[in-house]
Structure 1
Amino acid sequence: MDESWLYPATIVVLLILAYMQWQINAKKTMILILVVLGYIIYSHETGHSLTEFREQAVDDFDEAVGNSKYKERVVTPQMRPVEAQEMFDGNGSATE
């Protein structure tokens, strides 16, 4: 199914909604709709999204505190005795 109409239709619908909000003097809602419209246009034209920005911020924060998403977590018996002992025993069950 060709969805080439979805992007222009979204823009038209949001513009109509913003105009309707302007007509009834709901300025804050109109501004919110225009901000959403601006974000949609920006993300479509540049290919960047808020999810990409969030993931980059989380990765930067992890690196700043010394964590890395590529490091494996080391479990020691002092952290969680039951689960850690199961990992060391290799049997995977709490009862034998």
Structure 2
Amino acid sequence: MKDFKEQLNVIQETLFPEGHIESFRVEKPEYNTVEEFIHYIAKNWEEDSDYRKVYGNRDSADFTLANSVLHYVNYFKSDFNLDSYLKRNLEM
């Protein structure tokens, strides 16, 4: 999780040096946990996924999945804090 968080921070700083990523918001979430969302993205990002077949081309599927990631990064922002995440899950 630490490496993922570091990579996410690098991407955010590269693409949005002035913090504009905050403008991407989820209005009505489809996922209850960050794990659910990551599973969804990983499954649909595969080359032969049914999701990609619906779009018919790689660029449209990539754009839609990447756009979803930008929105959900803000929604699950607190889950990317490893200490907070572990504490919350260990207490359950």
What TM-score comes out, normalization by structure 1 length? 0.28
Structure whose alpha-carbon radius of gyration is higher: 1
What TM-score comes out, normalization by structure 2 length? 0.29
Bigger share in helix: 2
